[in-house]
Structures are given as C-alpha cells and as structure tokens.
C-alpha cells in the first residue's frame, strides 16, 4: 500500500485526515478535533486496512498502517496449506491401499 492507495481507501474522510509515509509504514492523523462517531468510522476503516491506533498526547496520536499487503482472510494461507497436506495424505493412502491389493 502507498499513500495514494490509502487516500483512496479513506476518501470518505477527505479534509479531516493527513497522511505521511514513514518508510516502512504509513501514518494517518486527524487535521484537528474529530467527533467520536467520525473517529470510530475512521478507526474501523483503518483496521480493515490492517492498521492500528497509536495513542499519544495531542498531536502525537495517529494510526499506523503497514505498507505490506494483508490477505483478505488471514486464515486463507493456513487453510490452503492444510488442504494441500490432506491431498498428500489421500494420495499416500491410495498408494498403500493399492500395494495391499
């Protein structure tokens, strides 16, 4: 993810957020006071992007978002590995059954 992708993903909040590239991650801050319901909406969107709130005092508070893409479903890779392992076990069992016959 880059700044432009992030701005697009958070376009509904244009004008109340500012963005910064900190090398390995992206920083999102509010431009000023934001009402609680609007802050919650931003926070939910940032979480969906794999980001997290970094609390601080005043202007040091921000969201931190990794530039590395996150999978749609974090378990997707694990499930694919398990399915591959199950296929290998089935093939091995078929070979054993054929050898017995």
Query: Which three-class secondary structure string do you get for 63-99?
Result: EEEECCCCCCCCCHHHHHHHHHHHHHHHHHHHHHHHH
Please report, for residues 32, 47, 81, the alpha-carbon distance to residue 12 in angstroms, rounded to integers and kept in the order given.
Answer: 16, 15, 37
pLDDT of residue 7: 96
**pLDDT above 90 for 3:** yes
Q: Where are the domains of the chain?
A: 3-66, 71-101
pLDDT of residue 72: 66
CATH architecture of 3-66: Alpha-Beta Complex (3.90)
Task: Kindly report, residue by residue over 38-89, the tens digit of the pLDDT.
Answer: 999 999 999 999 899 998 877 789 999 999 876 666 677 777 788 888 888 9
pTM for this prediction = 0.65
């Amino acid at each position: 993810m880059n700044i432009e992708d992030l701005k697009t993903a958070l376009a509904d909040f244009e004008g109340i957020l500012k963005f910064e590239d900190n090398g390995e991650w992206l920083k999102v801050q509010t431009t000023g006071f934001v009402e609680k319901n609007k802050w919650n909406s931003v926070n939910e969107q940032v979480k969906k992007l794999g980001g997290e709130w970094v609390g601080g005092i005043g202007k040091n508070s921000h969201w931190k978002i990794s530039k590395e893409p996150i999978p749609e479903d974090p378990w997707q890779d694990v499930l694919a590995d398990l399915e591959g392992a199950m296929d290998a076990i089935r093939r091995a069992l078929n070979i054993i059954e054929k050898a017995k016959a």
